[in-house]
Structure 1
């Protein structure tokens, strides 16, 4: 497998989601679709680069009428060297409600997003939303921001499926009451990155000018400023979105660092800066970048049943070959 294989598989996945959304529109006469079905279409279309491992109802500990879990999935991007990047993923639809854009980030008074972040702490990976944003015709009055153009290479053409870090989503949800109606959904769409762009090496390696960059050296500084291979580049792009929001927060950078298990993770010495996120955002994202897959992932990929603690947190696992 090559980077091109992974990128092409994600493009196929996005196109399959667009086709599914158009089917729903044609059959129902309106734009309405199911998030879980969209995820299945995405991962099946990305095969064989993506391997989809759903947990059965019995594994989930559910009942005949309840699966026992939500729509959260554990995604791992795997390299042949063993280095990998994991993230806890929850799907959300970009909707029109009363003529305004809407993403239910504030669902159940933010309880859902708090639960997602808590689960990501247990799994020691970042929490990320996949936004299903409909096809381009659905978003004719919505743009990806100041750099938007009518060109076919514009980001909006690739944005039927986007990735949005949950730390960003949590901030947007917190300020929903202060913004004009629909602004949080517009901001979410503009902050998000097309999923396929995570693996598109033709876009170049982003230079992450984080507020804490001057308190960083060594391999971590190289990570922020130099080209990376996969899956590090995927981790870097997820981190870059969070760093971009951090740059607009009125809180000073910090010089303090924390050390974590350096045998397990790639970066074990990280700034403790929380910004307004409530948690150290370097650790939240980069704890998902590991030197080797965790034991439970190796066992589950080999066909063993997931441990109960894992099947109680997620509906399944998706493995992506990030060569």
Structure 2
């Protein structure tokens, strides 16, 4: 028994007063309406209606059931209407997970511009460099940086992410500028602990091994700290250009071995479902695409470094 359909049939009979008009309103037959009401009475174990040839009358139990059932259906209709509106117009709370350094440097303006375009959307952005479980932790979308691996999640590439190896002019004057990967064995390394290890980052692995062997490395899970340490002359680091680009363009850092620049990674918007995607999520992902430019604005002062998109 479809309890919602049966309940709606009963309420319509009471509102219209006769089975025929209730059937006409629900675009069905009087026989089916009568069957629904009988099923409901059998299910509840009480008589809800006293029937005559001309009109139906509520019993005491029927009157109580009618009041509660009417409220339940009104609430259900209201809820479905609100959900339908959310699909048509972006609204509600959008929960975003984003990498710390990227978000603090480049996300605020985008969020403000997005909210101006979609004022009915509230934003809750949580910063974390670990890969969150967006389903378990209740996020609508996560921004991730890397070489995206196969996943049950859906991803949209937002921008390329260059990785540049750099050090301060003072450090290079004191320790020498590497001219080949073999020269990296003699240098201090500022190591980002979440850096992916794959074949495109073999330079990173060489520096990591050299730093570990000679106890001349600094390790952190935050790229901003490592860039500041590099500016202070602490060593060589490999960081995304969205963190290092401004300091490279200003001359506070120099790019090392640009011909060995790793393959670019990507900034991705990751979400759980492609079908029945809430408008707030769909609008946010569409808004992000192209927002940072092509190439991204943080790379436009780096013409002297090798660019490989």
Identify the TM-score tier after normalising by the shorter chain: under 0.3
Scaled by the length of structure 1, what TM-score is found? 0.21
Q: TM-score, normalised by structure 2?
A: 0.21
Higher CA-based Rg? 2
Of structures 1 and 2, the one with the larger relative CO (CA 8 A, separation 6+) is 1
Q: Which has the higher helix share?
A: 2
